């Protein structure tokens, strides 16, 4: 009798322990694809920091392309998270391809001399019978070669000739940049604002907004500069542009603006 009573108590204890274990929520699982995408974001951010000085301006277009592909891949991951094994395999293939391209770009950056990119001479513009990309690259070559007046004219002509090009938003940004680096801040400001108004979904929006803040700073329009910089900081946290905006805001505060 005593033995049966002891066994009964032991059984109740085991069931109680098992019930408690069943009530405990399962440990969260880390999505390996999401982890790899987060790693890709960190690597692209590192590349952005290397490009922020302007010394490697000829590689920014490659970073833009990789950012677009990363965004597309992230969207596919969210949409197809419950997809079949065949789709998952295709997703992994896309990631591997993107990872290889990022690694190639990282190796190229590491092999560049610290003084910056090599100046490339551009041919005549527009390229006779050329595509939008050929004309864009020719204009970009002028910008890399610090031939800013010619670059501005080339990008302006590009936008007239190819208004529907997928490169139009980038062309508009670099047109504005050509004015900014030559300290034509009023015109630069106008051109950067066109990026915001005409290409609201462009990846260049954060950079254009940052340069709007910079341009207003140079024009001593402190309130407008602060508004643009705070918008960058608040809308794009943990980005290179946000850090640059915060640095300029701190500089304005130190200067009493």
Does 137 map to a domain?
yes
Question: Which one, of 180, 178, 228, lies nearest residue 205 by Cα?
Answer: 228
At residue 130, the pLDDT reads: 80
Q: In the chain, how many domains are there?
A: 2
Q: How many CA atoms lie within 13 A of 236 on its CB side?
A: 21
Q: Is the pLDDT of residue 215 over 50?
A: yes
At residue 247, the pLDDT reads: 96
Shared-domain flag, residues 59 and 97 = yes
Say which residue the tokens 């300029």 belong to.
248
Shared-domain flag, residues 96 and 150 = no
| Mean pLDDT for the stretch of residues 232-238 | 95
| Phi and psi at residue 121, to the nearest 5° | -75, 140
| Mean pLDDT for the stretch of residues 179-183 | 96
Q: Which domain holds residue 159?
A: 132-254
Looking up residue 246, the CATH number of its domain turns out to be: 1.25.40.10
Q: What is the pLDDT of residues 107-148, one digit of tens each?
A: 555 554 433 322 333 334 556 578 999 999 989 998 999 999
Shared-domain flag, residues 153 and 80 = no
Does 21 map to a domain?
no
What does the mean pLDDT of the chain come to?
74
């Amino acid at each position: 009798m005593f033995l049966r009573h002891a066994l009964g108590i032991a059984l109740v204890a085991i069931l109680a322990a098992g019930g408690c274990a069943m009530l405990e929520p399962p440990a969260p699982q880390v999505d390996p694809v999401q982890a790899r995408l987060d790693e890709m974001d960190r690597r692209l951010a590192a590349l952005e920091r290397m490009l922020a000085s302007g010394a490697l301006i000829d590689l920014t277009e490659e970073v833009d392309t990789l950012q677009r592909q990363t965004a597309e891949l992230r969207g596919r991951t969210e949409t197809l998270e419950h997809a079949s094994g065949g789709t998952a395999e295709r997703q992994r293939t896309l990631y591997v391809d993107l990872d290889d391209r990022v690694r190639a770009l990282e190796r190229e950056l590491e092999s560049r001399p610290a003084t910056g990119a090599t100046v490339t001479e551009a041919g005549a513009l527009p390229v006779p019978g050329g595509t939008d990309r050929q004309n864009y690259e020719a204009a970009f070559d002028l910008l890399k070669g610090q031939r800013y007046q010619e670059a501005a004219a080339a990008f302006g002509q590009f936008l007239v000739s190819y208004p529907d090009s997928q490169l139009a938003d980038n062309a508009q940004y670099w047109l504005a940049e050509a004015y900014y680096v030559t300290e034509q801040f009023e015109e630069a400001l106008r051109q950067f604002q066109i990026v915001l108004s005409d290409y609201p979904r462009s990846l260049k929006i954060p950079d254009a907004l940052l340069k709007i803040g910079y341009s207003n700073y140079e024009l001593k329009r402190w309130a407008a500069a602060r508004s643009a910089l705070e918008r960058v900081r608040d809308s794009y946290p943990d980005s290179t542009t946000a850090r640059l905006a915060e640095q300029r805001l701190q500089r304005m505060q130190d200067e009493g603006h």
